[in-house]
Amino acid sequence: MKKYSKQRELILQSLKNRIDHPTAEMLYYDIKNQMPEIGIATIYRNLSDLCEMGEVQKIKPKIGPDRFDGNKEEHIHFECTQCHDIMDISIRENQTKKIDNEIKRLSENIDAECKSANIWLYGLCKKCKKLANINIKD
């Protein structure tokens, strides 16, 4: 049992140390350096436990495998349609209220009551936007 917790702790820490919303496989390669005997099935099992515990959020990008998020602060996601990086955009409390109100109004359009929302933004990240601009100039 003790070993199990140690693995879970390591997975959680390694997830919290990154900002790139890794896949289970990316985390596996990360953790393998510190714990060479760990298997990918252990990573999957612990990630699913951590999701159930609310410590980790599983996110589903438009393409590719599930990604994992250890950021527990309120935030929305921006997915780059070019390189498929997923970035966090933190929102301030007064912004949360504004967004909530707007969503409430939208759901009233169909006489529904919104309980939660999941906002995803898509576009070009800073890096890809820069590359796109260079290509246009050439």
Minimum gap (Å) between residue 66 Cβ and Zn ion: 13
Q: What angle do CA 10, 84, 137 make, to 5 degrees?
A: 135
What b/e readout covers 13-51, taking b as 16+ CB neighbours within 10 angstroms?
ebbeeeeebbbbebbbebbeeeeeebeeebbebbbeebe
Residues 71-100 binding Zn ion (CB under 5 A) are 71, 80, 82-83, 88
Residue type, 90: S
Residues 37-76 binding Zn ion (CB under 5 A) are 69, 71
15 binds Zn ion (CB under 5 A): no
Contact 77, 88 (CB under 8 A): yes
Minimum gap (Å) between residue 88 Cβ and Zn ion: 4
Minimum gap (Å) between residue 49 Cβ and Zn ion: 19
128 binds Zn ion (CB under 5 A): yes
Interface residues with Zn ion (CB under 5 A) are: 69, 71, 80, 82-83, 88, 125, 128
